[in-house]
């Protein structure tokens, strides 16, 4: 018999356990999680539709004025897509806070609680999300450079041995070399990108500022590469599996009407391109909650591994809140902060010693 989804595990969770728990939470709170994940994805879908329409019209318009207009629409669509992606990072922090409150006090997972938490720290989360996006772009650039260097070295090696080896050996070496370069680039990307995986969570669960949350994420993220890769690959394949199922009716309709429905088709009509993008975003809406839950559970699991967070959570469920002593601040983050920042209260001034007669 499986344990309830909100039970706290004493032992740290592996990648399979994290995915299993995320899926069970997803099944239990399906409609609520869809509502939580939908607004950022709908924003990205609107930007994607604008970009698709603009790029299709750019190649067909004879007017320079309309060409400029379509370029502006495409640029605006790209900005909307980026805004939707940033909003997804922001909502992830609110979802983590809601999840921790659910683990602590069995508070319901709700749309209102998640977005109330987002509203309380919106501008800080926005700045943090921009920094995370810049970091991810930098990691992607470094990974591409690493892939290119490894691939170039393997090509030079293939040219060097091409004088004495048959062609089929060179082909096998080229394929294996490309796979090795790709795997190395992916591992490097997740090794670097994973360092910023817990910034929104640290801000809303621990009440940290942006700079402190970034440092906190770097300190927590050691050793999470395999589990982060597993969560990403699972979400990626699940998303495109859902896309394949949802795209079948559109593909049949397009095929009946003479549309080249292959993935490499270049003559798609506007209605088919827009329908494809809408269905793609719908598959993202269906699977985005699993990604959010997975990162939230991964954050909790990292604190379990490094700080015994499961014991702290269970103590917080059973015991009253720890009283604050004037001038004393704990070096450990609480299970869940109940306000934005802690204020330092200076200790009271010492009383002057009494004189020899006992008078002050």
Report the 10 Å Cβ neighbour count for 1: 2
Structural domain boundaries in the chain:
15-316
24: its two tokens: 């069970």
Instruction: Give whole-number Cα distances, 167 to 151, 152, 155, 178, in Å.
Output: 18, 19, 14, 17
CA 242, CA 307: separation in Å to the nearest integer? Answer: 37
CA 286, CA 246: separation in Å to the nearest integer? Answer: 11
Chain CA centroid to CA 205, Å: 16
Please give the DSSP secondary-structure letter assigned to residue 121: T
- pLDDT tens digits in sequence order for the chain, 360 residues long: 344 444 444 456 677 778 888 888 888 888 888 888 888 888 888 888 788 778 777 766 777 777 888 888 888 888 988 888 888 888 877 887 887 777 766 778 888 888 888 888 888 888 888 898 899 999 999 999 988 888 888 777 766 766 666 667 677 777 777 888 888 888 889 888 888 888 888 888 888 888 888 888 888 887 777 888 888 888 888 777 777 777 788 878 777 877 776 655 556 777 777 777 778 777 777 877 888 888 888 887 887 777 776 666 666 666 666 555 555 445 455 566 665 434 334 444 555 555 555 444
CA 148, CA 181: separation in Å to the nearest integer? Answer: 8
Dihedral over alpha carbons 309, 315, 320, 323 (to 10 degrees): -50
Residue corresponding to tokens 């640029």:
75
131: its two tokens: 């920094």
């Amino acid at each position: 018999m499986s344990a309830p989804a909100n039970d706290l595990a004493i032992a740290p969770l592996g990648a399979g356990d994290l995915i299993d728990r995320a899926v069970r939470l997803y099944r239990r709170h399906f409609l609520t999680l869809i509502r939580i994940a939908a607004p950022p994805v709908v924003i990205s879908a609107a930007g994607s539709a604008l970009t698709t329409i603009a790029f299709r019209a750019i190649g067909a318009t004879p007017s320079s004025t309309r060409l400029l207009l379509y370029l502006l629409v495409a640029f605006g669509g790209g900005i909307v897509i980026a805004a939707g992606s940033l909003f997804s990072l922001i909502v992830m922090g609110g979802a983590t806070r809601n999840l921790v409150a659910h683990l602590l006090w069995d508070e319901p997972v709700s749309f209102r609680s998640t977005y109330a938490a987002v509203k309380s720290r919106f501008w800080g989360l926005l700045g943090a999300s921009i920094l995370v996006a810049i970091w991810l772009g930098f990691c992607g650039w470094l990974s591409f450079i690493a892939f290119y260097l490894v691939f170039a070295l393997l090509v030079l090696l293939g040219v060097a041995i091409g004088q004495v080896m048959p062609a089929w050996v060179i082909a096998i070496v080229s394929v294996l070399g490309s796979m090795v370069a790709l795997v190395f680039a992916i591992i490097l990307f997740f090794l670097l990108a994973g360092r910023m995986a817990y910034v929104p969570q640290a801000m809303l669960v621990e009440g940290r500022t942006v700079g402190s949350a970034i440092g906190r994420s770097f300190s927590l993220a050691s050793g999470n590469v395999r589990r982060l890769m597993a969560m990403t690959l699972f979400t990626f394949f699940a998303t495109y599996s859902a896309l394949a199922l949802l795209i079948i009716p559109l593909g049949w309709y397009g095929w009946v009407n003479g549309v080249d429905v292959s993935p490499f088709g270049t003559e798609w009509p506007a209605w088919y391109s827009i329908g494809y993008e809408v269905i793609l975003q719908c598959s993202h809406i269906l699977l985005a909650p699993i990604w959010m839950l997975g990162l939230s559970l991964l954050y909790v699991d990292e604190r379990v591994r490094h700080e015994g967070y499961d014991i702290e959570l269970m103590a917080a469920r059973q015991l009253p809140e720890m009283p604050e002593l004037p001038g004393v601040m704990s070096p450990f983050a609480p299970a869940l902060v109940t306000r934005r920042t802690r204020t330092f209260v200076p200790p009271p001034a010492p009383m002057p010693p009494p004189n020899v007669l006992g008078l002050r």
